[in-house]
Amino acid sequence: MEHQSEGSQATTKIIIVDDDQFQLKLLSHQLSMVGYKNVVAFDDGQTALDHMAGQVLDSTIVILDLNMPNMDGLEFLQKLQETEFTGALLLVSGEDERVVQSAEALASSYNLWVLGHLNKPVQQEQLQKYLKQLDAQKEKSLVGEKEHSYEAARLKQAIESGELSNFYQPKVLLDTGELVGVEALVRWEHPEDGLILPDHFIDLAEENELIDSIAQQVLSSALSDSKLWKEAGINITVAVNISMYNLNTRDFISYLEKELLASGINPQDLILEVTESKLMKDYSLVLDMLTRLRLRRVNLSIDDFGTGHSSMTQLRDIPFNELKIDRGFVHSACDNATLHGIFDGSIQLAKNLGIKTVAEGVENEADWSFLDGSGCDLAQGFFIGKPMRALELREWKTQWAERYEQIAI
Ligand code: C2E
Ligand code: CA
Ligand code: CA
């Protein structure tokens, strides 16, 4: 059997918890074949937890059987989250796929790090795939972002002094690969901390009434960048993310109309990607504003469709003409029957309502091929293009045209 040339075999500890003695032996053997020698096995959850107590276990993988007589896998997970465990988990079961997926979701909800799940009998290939993934993710987390936390006053200053800027991610037609639009994604160019992603400051902005000024800046830049692209012969739509919180006052519409007029951009070329806000106060006002915007030919897109933040009620009430399927249902849907089902259902639903569909989070070639023949209209994701500065779009477009020739589906 082939040995992995590099990896963390020597430094990784593996703990197997399974009541079946044969499985324990088999797995230990499979692991030692690929160079993992630091393997301990337990046929009972409590004994494993006792062993783990008081140890530093960050380079540890626990391979856990879900079906055990004394303490079952779910109880083990619950106990594990009460410890300081920071290693990774692999779940093993002979149960059907949906049950294992639920266990995986449960573990994630405990903030446990789950590499994935294995079906019994465990295939060597599958096991190795996950162990390799561990190395890759470790590397990523070493170079990953630091946790940032900012004061509202500092964010306010950043907005006022122009430290925010727009990046743009391409949206392409699945049929032809043609670039038809971009989505504006805000970034904070922090003088000391570098480029800060919106997840680190959007909530803060909402809680401190700074989200309106962010929306205004993002919208204005998006429209002026659109104008520059048009002058360069690139005729595309531009999408801006709007939290429902932005629609708590009527000022937003008048601001938007003024900006559209000043830029000369057609309302048809603007898309508002709407996400629900935790802080939404007045649903009637939101409905009123969005309907009004649609009457003025601005496009409305329901963002993160399928997640808790975006419901059927909204689809019923708000005149959306685009639906963005959340990346949670796109990425890896090719080898997950549940995701596949939800994805197909969303496309069908949109078709029934006469709404355009966008698949977001198309991250690799497998995701891209999955969309072939799916009936989805547009695709967006790292595989096609990462968010970039306005000036980089033209260069990307040329490169994409060449790449599309090779990957055309
Ligand atoms: P979103 O609207 O769902 O935007 C897509 C996010 O997914 C972006 O993250 C984008 O960089 C990321 N993404 C794109 N392709 C891929 C992929 O293939 N794989 C993966 N894993 N991720 C991908 P970003 O820029 O960090 O934005 C995060 C969220 O912040 C956005 O999610 C949006 O809800 C919010 N946001 C961004 N800009 C604004 C803004 O101007 N105003 C408001 N209110 N929210 C914004
Ligand atoms: Ca969006
Ligand atoms: Ca999303």
Residue ending a domain, among 126, 143, 160, is 143
Q: For residue 239, which ligand has an atom nearest its CA?
A: 2
Q: What's the CATH number where 208 sits?
A: 3.20.20.450
pLDDT recorded at residue 125: 87
For every residue of 212-237, DSSP letters joined together read HHHHHHHHHHHHHHHHHHHHTT---E
Residue ending a domain, among 97, 114, 143, is 143
In Å, what is the CA distance from 113 to each residue of 29, 138, 236, 296? 24, 12, 40, 47
- Across the chain, which has 409 residues, the per-10-residue mean pLDDT values are 56 92 91 90 94 83 92 93 90 85 90 88 86 74 60 96 98 97 97 94 93 96 97 97 87 92 96 80 87 95 83 88 95 92 96 97 96 96 97 97 87
Q: How many domains does the chain have?
A: 2
CA of residue 248 to ligand 2 center, whole Å: 19
324 assigned to some structural domain: yes
Cα angle 173-216-264, degrees, rounded to a multiple of 5: 60
Closest residue CA from atom 21 of ligand 1: 361
List the domain range (segments joined by +) for residue 133. Answer: 6-143
109 and 246, same domain (yes or no): no
74 and 200, same domain (yes or no): no
Report whether residue 172 contacts ligand 1, using a CB cutoff of 6 Å.
Answer: no
Closest CA to 183 of 220, 230, 236: 236
Indicate the pTM of the whole model: 0.82
166 assigned to some structural domain: yes
Q: For residue 330, which ligand has an atom nearest its CA?
A: 1
1 assigned to some structural domain: no
d(C-alpha 348, C-alpha 188), whole Å: 38
Whether 262 and 219 have beta carbons less than 8 Å apart is answered as: no
Report whether residue 106 contacts ligand 1, using a CB cutoff of 6 Å.
Answer: no
Report whether residue 397 contacts ligand 1, using a CB cutoff of 6 Å.
Answer: no
Q: Which residues contact 8 (CB under 8 A, 6 or more apart)?
A: 59, 134, 135, 138
pLDDT recorded at residue 190: 95
Grouping H, G, I as helix, E, B as strand and the rest as coil, residue 379 is: strand
Bridge partners, 271 (sequence order):
239, 299
Residue ending a domain, among 94, 120, 143, is 143
Cα dihedral 110→199→358→335 (10° resolution): -30
Whether 205 and 214 have beta carbons less than 8 Å apart is answered as: yes
